[in-house]
Structure formats: C-alpha cells, structure tokens
Structure 1
Amino acid sequence: MALYHPFLFALEAERAHRLTIRALAAPLPLKGVERDRRLETKVAGLVFPNPVGLAAGVDKDGEAIAGFFGMGFGSVEVGTLTPRPQPGNPRPRLFRLTEDRAVINRMGFNNGGIEAALPRIADAKRPGVLGVNVGANKDAADRIADYATGVSMAAKVADYVTINVSSPNTPGLRDLQHGAALAELLAAADEARGLTPLFLKVAPDLESADIDGIARAAVEHRIDALIVSNTTVSRPSLRSKHAGEAGGLSGAPLKALARQRLADFRAATGGELTLVSVGGIDSAEEAYARIRAGASLVQLYTALVYEGPGLARRIAKGLAKLLERDGFANVADAVGTSKP
C-alpha cells in the first residue's frame, strides 16, 4: 500500500506500506471522521458515523488507528492478528499491478501477535468504530482453539471482532468455511466473544452450496455481520507484469466478483444478516451501488493505493449527496433498494 504516488511508488511495495503506517502513526493535523446525519448507521448495536471503513490488512498491528480515523473513515478494522507472532511468508510478497489498479499479496498473516497489539488498541483514540480481525497461526496444532483465543482477547478491547477464515495465503485456512468445521469454529467463537459483536469474513471464491452453507451457519451461530469478501485466487484478464504472482488479488479487477458475491449472500441470507461489501470499491458511486445492493457498510483497501489518502472522505461526502439526490433520509433507508 502507498498513499502518496511520486515518492512511495518508486519504492518496493512493502517498504512503501511500512513508511505509510509509520507516517500515520505520528501525530498529524488530520480532519477526523467524516460526519453527516444522513451517513450515520447502526449495525450490531454499534453506531457508525459513516459507512466507509478501512479493511483489515492495512494496519495489521494497530499502529496507526488514530491516523486512519483522521482520514475520514467511520470505522477501522485492524489485523489480522494471531495468538502468537509470526513473520509471514518470504519477501517479496506484495506486488502493485499498476496497469490494472490492483494488488497481489501473499503476506501470510505477518503480525507481532495479539498480545503485543492489545495495549495499542485499548489506548487508541476511536472517534469511530474499531474492529479487530483475528486468525490462526500457520503452525497451529488446533486452529479453532487459536480463533477462540483470538476472539476472547480481542473482545476485551474491540467494538467488534472479525473471524478471518478467508485468506488464501495460509494453507488450508479456507477449509474452515465449510460444513462441520465452520459450525465448530462459529460455536467456539460465539462462546468466546461474550457480548462483543462478531463478524465473519468470507472468500469470493465460493460455489453456490458453500454460500448457502455459510449463510445458514452464520444465522444459526448468531454472527452479527458477514464481510463479503476477501481477496481472490482467480485471475481475470490482467496486464501487469506481476499478474502471474501467487497470492490474493484485490482492487479494480475484483469489482465484478465482489458485486456478484454480495448479491449471492443477500439472496442466501434473505435479509437476516447484515452485509459488509469489500472489493474494488473506489468511488462514492460504487459504494452507493453496493449499499443499494444490500450492504450496510463498505470497506476499502487497495483503492487507497491508487486514489490517495482523501478517498474515504470523498466517498463519504459523495454518499451523502447521492442519498439526498434520491430522497433517502439515511444509509439504512437505501440498503437493499436496488433489484437483485
């Protein structure tokens, strides 16, 4: 990730990302969360000042929470955090596909461990909603136990906790999205969370039966929202020299698939579950289309690389204008108003 093109785009992608996080961790004269009465929306008992959120994966260790809120985001989701620190996959593992306005990553849940991050998260100023995304260590003997540990620890400091079983960069992790394994995982996480809202982040690379199964399990185990979706291992037509790199693809090429999965989960859940849309959102118009297609919230990541640090605020301001144009009093009134 890089938020300022001329300098950071000249650097290797992961180094540029680290410099961005360091800069945002420093005290900066930022404007703060974008607020407008029409944008305020309530999900899982939490009041989001606007529906534009920062997706997990940007600030893995919760180092720059205040800085991201200062860019206008209504919510910030940190992580993915694992019970024990882990270095992730060998570098290079992050690639800009500039011609495609995309990114491929195979980071592998690199983070300093949830215990080290908790004090930063607890102390961070949060003018909006703060989520913590948790995962299992790559070498965990019992991945479900890892998730239960992460949820229990994160629930002490987070406004909501997200279970990430959809990264393509930890071998076998996506198997937890299916059948008995998913039911066991959600039951353990439900028990561990206490009263903290629990979200589930799913992959875009799913078959119809998978979608139906996830929807049923999420409703049964009291999941508060589904985040649809993570990066894809599929490869649409790409132009960049890095198109053949292994890992999860995000950004503009994911847009069509992300829209389709949102529609699929809207149909599968029948409106019983709140949906959060992620993937290829790069404008107020696209965010508004996702809201009208059934998403109560949206999240950004890769578009920040190409659109710059003002994107969240531009989208929020644009959403307010679009809601007013179409006669909606607030975001909730617009959710799911377009025909499937």
Structure 2
Amino acid sequence: MLLTAVPIADHAAALSVVGAAGAVCAFGGVACLRGWIPRGRSWAAMLLSAVGVIVVADLVTGDATATGLVFFLVPPLVAAAQLPSRAAWFTAGVSLVGLAVVVTMLLPLDRALVDGVNVAAFVVLVTWLVSRGQDRTDSLVAELQRQAAIDPLTGLVTRRVLDEALRSALEGTAAACGNALVIVDIDKFKSVNDTWGHPVGDAAITHVGRVLARACGPDAVVSRLGGDELAALLPGRSPAEAAAVAEHVVVDVRAAPLVLGDGREVPLTVSVGAAHSPVNAADLEGLYRAADEALYRAKRAGRDRAVLNDGDNSDDDGSADDGPVAPAAALPAQRAFRDAGSSLTGRRNR
C-alpha cells in the first residue's frame, strides 16, 4: 500500500531543515573521505543528533507517512552495526521516543497507534537482528585473534606475539633497562620422535615449554617459535641474569624427564642460546641472530648446555669461552666453538 505525503505547510522551513541535514551529511562524507574514522562517542553523538534531525524534519514538513517514519530505522541500524549492544539499544530507545513524538503530534490517535506500533516493531526487530549478528562476528574475531596469538599445542604465545613484545621492549622506555632473548632447542628431537613416536614428541615440546615458563618467571613472554624451538623475552634483565635463567632451564629440563602415562620416563636435554640488548644488538633481527648464534655454539659444544653471546664472534683458533655455560655435571667441560665470522644459515643439525 502506497501512502502519499501530507502537503508541506511551510516550504521555506522545510527547505531549511532539509538543507541543514544535507550539509551535515556532506560534511561527514568529506571528513570520512579525508581519513576521519568515527569512534564510539562520535558515533553516539551523530546518531542521537540524527534522531533529533529526523524529528524536526518530520514535524516541519508535517510528514508522518511511511516515507518520513522509515528514517527512524536508520540510527538504530547504524548503532547496531558500529556500537556495542547496549549503545545500540539506547539509540533504538531514543529513536522510538522520537517516533512517538512525531506520530502523536501529526496523526489522529487511532492511526498514531497503528503506525507507531508498526514502525516501532521494525526498529526493535532490526536492532535485535543486527546486534545479534554483530555480537557473533565480534566473538568470531576474538576467537580468531586468540588462535593467532596462542600456540594450540603448548598454550604459549606465537612468534607473532613474541615479535610484537620484542619490538615494544626494544623501542620503548624499557630499552634503556636492557632486554634479553633466550632461544631453547630440544636436543636430538628427531630421535625422540623416532623412538617414542610423534605424540610423545608433542608432549615433550609442551613439557619443555612449561619448564621454560617456570624458569623465566611471570614477567617473561614465552613463545613457541615453531617445531621444537621455544623462546622467551626477559624484559629488564642484565646479561648475567639472562645467563642464569638460561642455565636454570638446562638444569631443570635435565632434572625433570617427561613421564608418560604408563610411568616410563623420557629423558630430555636442551641447548639454550641467550643474547642481550643493547649488548649484542639493538634491533629485533639482530637480537634473534645473536641468540641463534649462541644456540648454535651450544649445539656444537656438545648440546645440553647454555651459551650467552658475549658479542665476540671471531677467534683465530676458532675456539674460546663464549659466555656462561651450563654446569659441568651436564657434560664434560669443553669450550664452545665459534664461527669465524660466519653467519648461521639454513637449519641446524639437531
């Protein structure tokens, strides 16, 4: 059924209202094109103002037909799509109040009740549907973000989260206090998989991750880099403190074998490389490289030990003490081999 608009009583007033509304819309459009993005309070202010403009426009034009009343759907619709549910329902309530003002002032009581209830039902329905869909979308996005941030096997954060934390630590005020990066690699992990099976290998990674998290303390950011390689950011730690944590990890893993469901024990050892900022590097890539070099030296020195990168990567004879090493009880004391200026490329021999 088509309804015709009530004749305009005052063309000048109507044109003024419509012109003002058009100007506001044009201003908002230009602002958005120039990069302005409305936030929560901005959206709320605009939508509540929009309800007021709709009320004034309908009253000035005397238009209480479907053409004029349908605009009361717009503010709740936009609010439901852009704002939390509570704000959307508040906007819907304000819109319903405006609707009631227009129909009671411009229509007979019987028609005001019929038209008002019909439009109000649409306002409520639209707000509920869009808010519900938006809530589901927000939940899905939150779950995807959680999955992207948490490693499903170990429960540790992912490499992306660790990198973000490292950048923040290296670029923020914490950089002046110093930060350490520790990289942990399970020794002969392929043998663990071949001997015990991949499920036990997964359990071993999770087990070492827990040991690493306990050793590093609550202020550390502990991550699974990939495969059997783990890492931890130690904010505000000195080189000596980083070396102590690295050695602590080696000792704790050695002392706590993985216990299987049938009571059998899987002995594990790890090699750990540690580097410090700003001693070894002041940037993310450089700090990773320094820690990786220290880990490589721990592997070449016989595994089951920790090496702190002391910043000296070359010796004529190819060997030297390279920072603190895990206690001698782990393996016979031996000096960590050094790369004579070569950088670590490819995958380490595990």
TM-score, with length taken from structure 2: 0.23
Q: Give the structure with the larger helix fraction.
A: 2
Higher Rg:
2
Q: Which has the higher contact order (CA 8 A, sep 6+)?
A: 1
Q: Give the structure with the larger strand fraction.
A: 1
